[in-house]
């Protein structure tokens, strides 16, 4: 079965996306487009489709460029929908800063699935590969985080999660440190 190189990319001006498609021999492109794209962004998406539409599958995902949390959730969902055997490259070069942050946070949440996160310099088209961080939380830490808003004391967390207080405190300390 065919292994694909998938690019998840922010977009405003098309130059960095076009460069990434060529540089990484991309088979599938997922463009994160504003919910209400302006003329520049719309033309950039159109030009990418015209140049690469016969060579790569091109898909658009609409995002609110200022909602970091929703962007992160959407990109995590995109990453989770990509086949395990495929290589994923994330390009966070173009677009607004909150959009780029959401994309990076999603990549860090799924660090085990991401081949690389890149930024392409405008001046020389140098590829800057960002370090991969991972937020590898334990199942206990995830359960604590899921319940923190609903439960206002360690005693209640202890009862709800059936975890000893010492363990809760240890995990809370680790989460606070992270």
131-138: list long-range contacts, CB under 8 Å, 24+ apart.
132/107, 132/108, 133/108, 134/108, 135/108, 135/109, 135/111, 135/178, 137/175, 138/171
Report phi then psi at 92, rounded to 5.
-115, 30
**The pLDDT of residue 1:** 65
For 58, other C-beta atoms within 10 Å of its C-beta total: 19
**The pLDDT of residue 174:** 84
Sites in the chain below the pLDDT cut of 70: 1, 134-135, 178
**The pLDDT of residue 173:** 87
Q: Are 100 and 10 in contact (CB under 8 A)?
A: yes
**The pLDDT of residue 133:** 78
Secondary structure of the chain: what % helix, strand, coil (to 5)? 45, 20, 35
């Amino acid at each position: 079965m065919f292994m694909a190189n998938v690019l998840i990319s922010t977009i405003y001006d098309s130059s960095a996306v076009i460069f990434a498609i060529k540089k990484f021999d991309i088979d599938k492109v997922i463009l994160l487009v504003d919910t209400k794209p302006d003329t520049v962004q719309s033309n950039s998406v159109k030009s990418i489709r015209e140049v690469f539409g016969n060579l790569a599958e091109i898909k658009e995902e609409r995002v609110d460029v200022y909602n970091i949390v929703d962007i992160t959730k959407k990109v995590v969902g995109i990453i989770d929908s990509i086949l395990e055997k495929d290589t994923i490259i994330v390009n966070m070069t173009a677009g607004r800063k909150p959009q780029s942050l959401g994309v990076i946070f999603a990549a860090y949440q799924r660090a085990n699935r991401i081949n690389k996160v890149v930024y392409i310099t405008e001046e020389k088209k140098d590829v800057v590969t960002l370090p991969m961080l991972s937020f590898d939380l334990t199942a206990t830490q995830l359960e604590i985080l899921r319940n923190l808003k609903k439960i206002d004391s360690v005693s209640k967390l202890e009862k709800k999660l059936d975890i000893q207080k010492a363990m809760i405190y240890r995990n809370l300390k680790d989460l606070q440190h992270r």
